[in-house]
Structures are given as structure tokens and as C-alpha cells.
Amino acid sequence: MFTLTPHSIYNCSALRLCETAEKHFISVGFYGGKKQVLDALIWKIQKRYPFLKIVYAYSPPFHALNLAEQNEVVENIKQSGTKILFVGLGCPKQEHWMSLSKQQLPLVMLGVGGAFDVLAGAKPYPPVWIQSLGLEWLFRLCLEPKRLWYRNLYHSSRFLLLIALLNSINLIKNVYSKIFNF
């Protein structure tokens, strides 16, 4: 069942954007995800927003695109008339792809990570209390530890190190300001 409870935070901005696009006749596209997930997502989105103009949907291969493939994808997206492109390749692949493509595509791109899987019903929504704490990443890590452990460890540890460094700098500033009264 394709439902969104009033308390759900997860991906509701993407759904609201689809609703707004439908009301204002703005064409949308979807890039990423497995073919069967993308098909289920399109079906559910069309069922919920029957007048939404979905003009592009493509499940790219899992390897990095070569220049010819990248140019073909960009050209197909341009030709489709997409104005808002939801990119569901996962982090950091979607950020790299959007950065590479932004100069060539005259549209708005939104990196939505694993939203395609969740909205298509292929993976469960996190419980509301996990969403409210901003721990969707931990929920997904518990569901797919083999696939996500390295990515989360690598990116999260860099983030935590940066936070620790900034806190250390602030601590040193506070100590010096108390010692030297400035």
C-alpha cells in the first residue's frame, strides 16, 4: 500500500514536489534505481498523481558511464523536456553524476538517495521515531549492513572527525580566553 502518514518525514518533500509539479504542469523525470524498482515507483507515483507529467525514467547500468553513454543519457533527458529530475543513485554516486551533468542539463536535479526503493515499496519506511531523530541512515545500515557499512563508516567517520576537530578548537579558544581574559 502506498501511504504516507501525517507524521512521516522520510521523502515527503519529494512527494510534495510531485504534487506541486502536477498542479503546475511541470514535467518530471526519474534517473536511477533498478529497473523493477523504477517501474514500481512510476506506477505508484502515477496512481497517486494521475495528472503528473512523467516524461523520463531510466535505470542506468551499475558501472560508471563512459563518455558516450553519459552524453546519450544527457541528450535523452534534454529531449524529454524534463524540468525536475529525481536522481536516485545513492551517495556519493548521485552527487558525482549531478555535478558532472549540471552544466549540460537545464533543469532542477534532486538527489534522493534510496527514496526510489522506499517509495516503490521495495524497502520499508523507517519508524517515525527513527525519522524524527534523523537516524534513517542507521535504519538502512541495519537493513543492508554488507552494502552500506563501508560507505557509512568512511563518510560518517570523516564527518565525526571534523566535528571533533571543531569542538577541540572551540575548547582551546575557551581555555585561552579564560586564561588571558580576552
List average pLDDT for each run of 10 residues in the chain, which is 182 residues long: 42 84 97 95 96 97 91 97 94 89 94 88 85 79 74 63 74 73 66
Per the structure, the count of domains in the chain is 2
Q: How far apart are CA 86 and CA 31, in angstroms?
A: 6
| Assigned domain for 5 exists | no
| Assigned domain for 6 exists | no
Separation of first and last alpha carbons in the chain: 61
Domain boundary among 121, 139, 157: 139
Give the pLDDT score at 141. 79
Give the pLDDT score at 33. 92
Q: How far apart are CA 48 and CA 94, in angstroms?
A: 26
| Assigned domain for 3 exists | no
Contacts (Cβ under 8 Å, ≥6 apart) of 55? 27, 28, 29, 80, 81, 82
Q: Are residues 60 and 123 in the same domain?
A: yes
| Assigned domain for 182 exists | yes
Q: Are residues 99 and 165 in the same domain?
A: no
The torsion of the CA quartet 102, 104, 108, 111, rounded to 10 degrees, works out to: -40
Q: Are residues 154 and 64 in the same domain?
A: no
Q: Are residues 122 and 149 in the same domain?
A: no
| Assigned domain for 113 exists | yes
Q: Are residues 70 and 158 in the same domain?
A: no
Q: Are residues 160 and 76 in the same domain?
A: no
The boundaries of the domain holding residue 111 are 12-139
Give the pLDDT score at 123. 87
Give the pLDDT score at 4. 43
| Assigned domain for 7 exists | no
Give the pLDDT score at 130. 83
Q: How many Cα neighbours within 13 Å face the side chain of 122?
A: 16
Q: Are residues 117 and 151 in the same domain?
A: no
Q: Are residues 134 and 155 in the same domain?
A: no
Q: Are residues 114 and 86 in the same domain?
A: yes
Give the pLDDT score at 19. 94
Give the pLDDT score at 101. 94
Pull the grid cell for residue 146. 554488507
Q: Are residues 64 and 91 in the same domain?
A: yes
Q: What strand order describes the sheet that includes 84-88?
A: 54-58, 28-32, 84-88, 108-111
CB 163 within 8 A of CB 171: no
